[in-house]
Structure formats: C-alpha cells, structure tokens
Amino acid sequence: MSIGVLALQGSFNEHLAALRRIGVKGVEIRKPEQLQHVIALIIPGGESTTMAKLAECHNLFPALRDFVKTGKPVWGTCAGLIFLANKAVGQKSGGQDLVGGLDCTVHRNFFGSQLQSFETELSVPELVAKEGGPATFRCVFIRAPAILKAGPDVEVLADYPVPLEKLICSKSVDESQEEKLRSEEKVIIAVKQGNLLATAFHPELTADTRWHSFFLKMVGEAGDQKLNCISTTEGDLSDHQTPNDLPIFQ
C-alpha cells in the first residue's frame, strides 16, 4: 500500500518528494475511488477555499470523511489542518465545507496575509523524542491558520507565543475564551488525535523530514499492511526528480 497525497492544489508535489526522500511511495489522489488503494493520506497546504471547491467538484468530501472514520492515518498541513477541523472561523463569506474529525476550532488565517508569512524555530519535544535530531524544528508559516481551542482528546505537540493584543483582537475570540487566552498568550500549531495529525506550518517546504517520519510511525501503528517502499539511492530517484524535489528552505 502507498500513502496518498490529495493533489487538487497546493504543495502536494513537495510532500511526494519528502516521502521519496525517506523511501516511501506516495500517490496523487484526485478521485474518490483512488482512496481505496492507499493506507494513509496527506492533505497538503494551499488555498483552502480553492481546495474545498475542487474537492466538491470531484465529489471528494463524502469519501474523505469516510476515510477519516476508518481510522486510517490522515495528516493535514496548513490548509489540510483547516479541512480536518470540526469548526473553522475567520472564513470568507459563505464559508467552506470541512472534512472534520479533529476536535478543535481553527482560525483560517490567524497569522495574516501572504506578506506576513514567516519562519521560526520552535520546540517540538514529542517529535524529538520519537525522531531524534535537533531540539527545534524550523516551521514555515504561509498565510497560516492556528488552533484556538482543542478538545480533551487532542494532544498538543507544539504551540506558538503571540502578542496578547493579537489574540484579543481576533474576531474569532469570544468572551468565554478571553480569560484563558490572557493566561496563556499562545496558540496551538501542531496536534495529534487518534489517527489524525495536523500542523499549521509546512514541514514539506524544508529539508527536515522528521514530521514525515513521525507520520509513518502512525501508519505503522494503525495496522499491519505493508507500505510500498522505494529505494532512496540517487540512481533510483533520478527518474522521478522535478524542480519541486529541492526543498525551498534548507
């Protein structure tokens, strides 16, 4: 079995390249029936409204929701996080359909516009405990969402400190949340809940593949089906390389 990557729009090529670098075959998913042939799924970053419209056009939402309910691992990055959330705020007029399954409230564009995109080194103890390597991970935020509220079964893997005025001024923050935000002054940017993994940033845009390896361990824990592995030698990968194989941030 292979790992599927939703390939409607966004950084799906970068996820496929990252999977190849750790020796696992990824396949592009554009039709509902293709989900029957993958053991796990990555929903990449991109423009969430556009991705939702394309998913609706291809009648993918029912199949995606069923896939999540089967217990197979699903990882959403940036726009993929929005897709997996049970509730999204800060959306455009009319909103968008969600796949759901992740017990959280996400602010669709918490960190601002394209011009406010940024990179930062953040502590990720759970990732380091399982994958080793540096104590921090370089997180790339591009018009990124943030999780404002997570349910009791959601494991927080990473959070990000933000100015208090940013939290209080957010249109998504109601009075019941304000006291909690005043004491924490941070938002959640990576979580795990059962078979679901979500990150507000873009690990696929770095040379560091630890989040992809972390996800593979979730796949291994979910069942005994064998992953479709490929050789990671330079010769074997040369026929598959595209400009997107080169990580944007080293």
Q: What's the confidence (pLDDT) of residue 232?
A: 52
As for how many domains the chain has, the answer is 1
Q: Based on DSSP, count helices (H) and strands (E) in the chain, helices before strands.
A: 9, 12
| Residue type present at position 189 | I
> Which residue has tokens 């991109």?
46
Contact 52, 68 (CB under 8 A): no
Q: What angle do CA 87, 147, 183 make, to 5 degrees?
A: 125
Residue length, the chain? 250
Q: What's the confidence (pLDDT) of residue 222?
A: 78
Q: What's the confidence (pLDDT) of residue 95?
A: 66
Q: Residue 116: which pLDDT band, with cuts at 50, 70 and 90?
A: confident
* More confident site: 1 or 221: 221
SS3 of residue 244 by DSSP? helix
Q: Let me know if 15 is a catalytic residue.
A: no
- The catalytic residue among 15, 107, 202, 212 is 202
Q: Let me know if 58 is a catalytic residue.
A: no
Q: Let me know if 139 is a catalytic residue.
A: no
Q: What's the confidence (pLDDT) of residue 249?
A: 47
Q: Residue 23: which pLDDT band, with cuts at 50, 70 and 90?
A: very high
Query: Which structural domain range is residue 52 located in?
Result: 2-245
Do the domain assignments include residue 43? yes
Q: Residue 113: which pLDDT band, with cuts at 50, 70 and 90?
A: confident
Q: What's the confidence (pLDDT) of residue 246?
A: 43
Q: Residue 167: which pLDDT band, with cuts at 50, 70 and 90?
A: low
Q: What's the confidence (pLDDT) of residue 169?
A: 53
pLDDT tens profile 193-248: 999 999 999 999 999 999 999 999 999 987 656 666 665 544 344 334 444 444 44
Do the domain assignments include residue 225? yes
* Among candidate residues 200, 205, 204, 201, the one with its CA nearest the CA of residue 248: 205
* More confident site: 17 or 96: 17
| Residue type present at position 233 | T
Mean pLDDT for 139-167 is: 87
* Among candidate residues 33, 27, 37, 36, the one with its CA nearest the CA of residue 5: 27
Q: Which of 45-54, 79-88, 158-167 has the lowest mean pLDDT?
A: 158-167
Q: What's the confidence (pLDDT) of residue 177?
A: 53
Structure tokens at 169: 């001024």
- The catalytic residue among 14, 15, 78, 212 is 78
Do the domain assignments include residue 12? yes
What are the DSSP calls for 142-200, one per residue?
SS--EEEEE-TTPEEEEEEE--HHHHHH-TT--HHHHHHHHHH-EEEEEEEETTEEEES
Do the domain assignments include residue 250? no
Q: What's the confidence (pLDDT) of residue 226?
A: 64
Task: Kindly tell me if the per-residue pLDDT of 91 is higher than 50.
Answer: yes
* More confident site: 113 or 181: 113
Report for 33-42, 86-95, 108-117, 220-229: range of highest mean pLDDT:
33-42
Do the domain assignments include residue 87? yes
Do the domain assignments include residue 57? yes
- The catalytic residue among 15, 107, 139, 204 is 204
Do the domain assignments include residue 89? yes
Contact 117, 141 (CB under 8 A): yes
Q: What is the CATH number of the domain that holds 155?
A: 3.40.50.880
**What pTM, to 2 d.p., does this model score?**
0.84
Using CA atoms, how far apart are residues 66 and 72, in angstroms rounded to an integer?
Answer: 10
Q: What's the confidence (pLDDT) of residue 242?
A: 43
